[in-house]
């Protein structure tokens, strides 16, 4: 008998009717002979409502008490889903994160899972029960309720699948799988049958919102077969698996195109070209808890350099104020910022064994008269920073240039 861990997001359980539909789906899998562990999020909009309540009392809510508050959203869903299953004649038992004993560190609002006590769940499964677990939450060593951050229910599902050695972790959401790119931008985008953990990790980190990045990291680390499926449509979804499990003969050069509009470019111009100057610039930025992405440094003829990097758009003004202080200290000429940029990235393990991917990318962008402002690469990724107004044109052009409108077999 196989064990499935299924996770249903907020839109999947957004109303009583949808919770009933999830119960019917879970019942169908139970009838097929599967042991079932179901992880659920709060009903859609509920977490935001609770956060707004907290902010109506405290402008910056106390982190510990905020976790106590927002964790109640999932508690509602697990109880209602168990009632819906019991109504259908299935024995079901609900657990909060603390009842399972999903042990986390004590970083309120963004805790990380450290271990899971699976004894009670295993006992319930042995007794033939469906186990329903609240996602997004755990408990620290002192017994404080903690939450895992936005999208944390994905991580709960994957972590439970790893602890229980489940045959598959199925993430049910409002899309029917992982696509070559966003179908709203490229209508001809295709659903991928399979993608590697490595590729999915890059896609998630580069702006694809299908899965929380930490859940993909967890799945890759513990080799948990992960499948993305639509909550209300039948279909095979997309299986996320190990690199070596894919048939490399059928692996396309580029699997997907990710993009991110939330980028801002920051330049410190006229920096004295001296050893260690980059560290003197970037260290204060890091200390201000600003995450730096793409970095480019140019050397000019007058022994000065321009250092340019990207940050999240929301951090641009904070970065500007940090760098103005740095500029005065090191004698740099000026700080320039631009929040009208976007990042476009090609991702694919097939890029490892194929030369000329960058050349094809740059040619396609040039044909659309799109100027590349910055470039960064890794073994399976090429990212460029471009003017935001050309983002959709770039994505569509690259999708065609790499034959992604076609089935992978047609590309051979």
Same structural domain for residues 11 and 146?
Answer: yes
Number of domains, the chain = 2
CATH of the domain at 367: 3.30.2130.10
Mean pLDDT of 209-234: 88
What pTM, to 2 d.p., does this model score? 0.83
Same structural domain for residues 266 and 389?
Answer: yes
- The verdict on residue 275 lying in a domain is yes
**DSSP letter, residue 118:** -
Q: Say if residue 139 carries a ligand binding annotation.
A: no
Using 50, 70 and 90 to split pLDDT, how confident is the model at 411?
very low
- The verdict on residue 358 lying in a domain is yes
| Per-residue model confidence (pLDDT) at position 246 | 53
- The verdict on residue 233 lying in a domain is no
- The verdict on residue 193 lying in a domain is no
Residue 244 burial by Cβ neighbours in a 10 Å radius (0-12, 13-18, 19+): exposed
- The verdict on residue 133 lying in a domain is yes
Q: Say if residue 157 carries a ligand binding annotation.
A: no
Strands 168-173 and 3-8: parallel
Examine the fold and report which residue of 144, 173, 202 is the final residue of a domain before the chain moves on. Answer: 173
Taking alpha carbons only, the member of 385, 363, 361, 388 closest to residue 374 is 385
Q: Say if residue 179 carries a ligand binding annotation.
A: yes
Same structural domain for residues 159 and 294?
Answer: no
Same structural domain for residues 265 and 154?
Answer: no
Q: 343: domain range? A: 257-404
Distance of alpha carbon 376 from alpha carbon 293, whole angstroms = 9
- The verdict on residue 137 lying in a domain is yes
Q: Say if residue 265 carries a ligand binding annotation.
A: no
Same structural domain for residues 162 and 302?
Answer: no
Mean pLDDT of 303-324: 93
Same structural domain for residues 169 and 280?
Answer: no
Question: Which residues, 6 or more positions from 284, have their beta carbon under 8 angstroms from its beta carbon?
Answer: 322, 323, 325, 326
Question: What is the phi/psi pair of residue 320, to 5°?
Answer: -60, -45
DSSP 3-state assignment of 322? helix
Same structural domain for residues 152 and 271?
Answer: no
Examine the fold and report which residue of 145, 173, 201 is the final residue of a domain before the chain moves on. Answer: 173
Same structural domain for residues 148 and 261?
Answer: no
Q: Say if residue 228 carries a ligand binding annotation.
A: no
With a cut of 80, say whether residue 322 has pLDDT above it.
yes
For the stretch 183-221, pLDDT in tens is 889 999 999 999 999 999 888 877 667 787 888 988 999
Beta carbons of 348 and 253 less than 8 angstroms apart: yes
Same structural domain for residues 156 and 28?
Answer: yes
Residue 244 is encoded by which pair of tokens? 């070596």
- The verdict on residue 120 lying in a domain is yes
With a cut of 70, say whether residue 247 has pLDDT above it.
no
Q: Say if residue 180 carries a ligand binding annotation.
A: no
Q: Say if residue 184 carries a ligand binding annotation.
A: yes
> Residue 259, Cβ neighbours under 10 Å: how many?
22
Same structural domain for residues 278 and 148?
Answer: no
Q: Say if residue 174 carries a ligand binding annotation.
A: yes
Q: Say if residue 210 carries a ligand binding annotation.
A: yes
CATH of the domain at 161: 3.40.1160.10
Same structural domain for residues 155 and 262?
Answer: no
Same structural domain for residues 165 and 263?
Answer: no
Examine the fold and report which residue of 173, 208, 241 is the final residue of a domain before the chain moves on. Answer: 173
- The verdict on residue 298 lying in a domain is yes
Q: Say if residue 266 carries a ligand binding annotation.
A: no
Highest mean pLDDT among 120-129, 372-381, 399-408: 120-129
């Amino acid at each position: 008998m196989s064990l499935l861990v299924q996770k249903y997001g907020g839109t999947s359980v957004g109303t009583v009717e949808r919770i009933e539909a999830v119960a019917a789906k879970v019942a169908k899998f139970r009838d097929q002979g599967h042991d079932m562990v179901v992880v659920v999020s709060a009903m859609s909009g509920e977490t935001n409502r609770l956060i707004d309540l907290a902010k109506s009392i405290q402008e910056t809510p106390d982190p510990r008490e905020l976790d106590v508050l927002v964790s109640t959203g999932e508690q509602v869903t697990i109880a209602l889903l168990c009632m819906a299953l019991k109504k259908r004649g299935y024995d079901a038992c609900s657990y909060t994160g603390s009842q399972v004993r999903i042990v986390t560190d004590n970083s309120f609002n963004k805790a990380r899972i450290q271990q899971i006590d699976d004894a009670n769940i295993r006992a319930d499964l042995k007794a033939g029960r469906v186990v329903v677990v609240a996602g997004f939450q755990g408990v620290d060593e002192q017994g404080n309720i903690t939450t895992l951050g936005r999208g944390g229910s994905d991580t709960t599902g994957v972590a439970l699948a790893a602890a229980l050695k489940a045959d598959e972790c199925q993430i049910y959401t409002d899309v029917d799988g992982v696509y070559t790119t966003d179908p709203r931008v490229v209508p001809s985008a295709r659903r991928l049958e399979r993608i590697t953990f490595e590729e999915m990790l890059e896609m998630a980190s580069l702006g694809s919102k299908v899965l929380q990045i930490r859940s993909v990291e967890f799945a890759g680390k513990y080799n948990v077969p992960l499948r993305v499926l639509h909550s209300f449509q039948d279909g095979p979804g997309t299986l996320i698996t190990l690199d070596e499990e894919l048939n490399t003969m059928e692996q396309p050069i580029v699997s997907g195109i990710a993009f991110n509009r939330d980028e801002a470019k920051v330049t410190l111009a006229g920096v004295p070209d001296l050893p260690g100057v980059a560290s003197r610039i970037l260290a204060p930025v890091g200390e201000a808890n600003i995450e730096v992405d793409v970095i480019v440094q140019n050397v000019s003829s007058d022994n000065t350099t321009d250092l340019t990097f990207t940050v999240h758009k929301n951090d641009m003004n904070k970065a500007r104020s940090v760098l103005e202080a740095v500029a005065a200290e090191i004698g740099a000429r000026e700080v320039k910022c631009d929040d009208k940029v976007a990042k476009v990235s090609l991702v694919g393990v097939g890029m490892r064994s194929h030369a000329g991917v960058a050349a094809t990318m740059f040619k396609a962008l040039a044909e659309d008269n799109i100027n590349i402002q910055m470039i960064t690469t890794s073994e399976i990724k090429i990212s460029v920073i471009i003017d935001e107004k050309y983002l959709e044109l770039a994505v569509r052009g690259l999708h065609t240039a790499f034959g992604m409108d076609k089935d992978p077999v047609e590309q051979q």
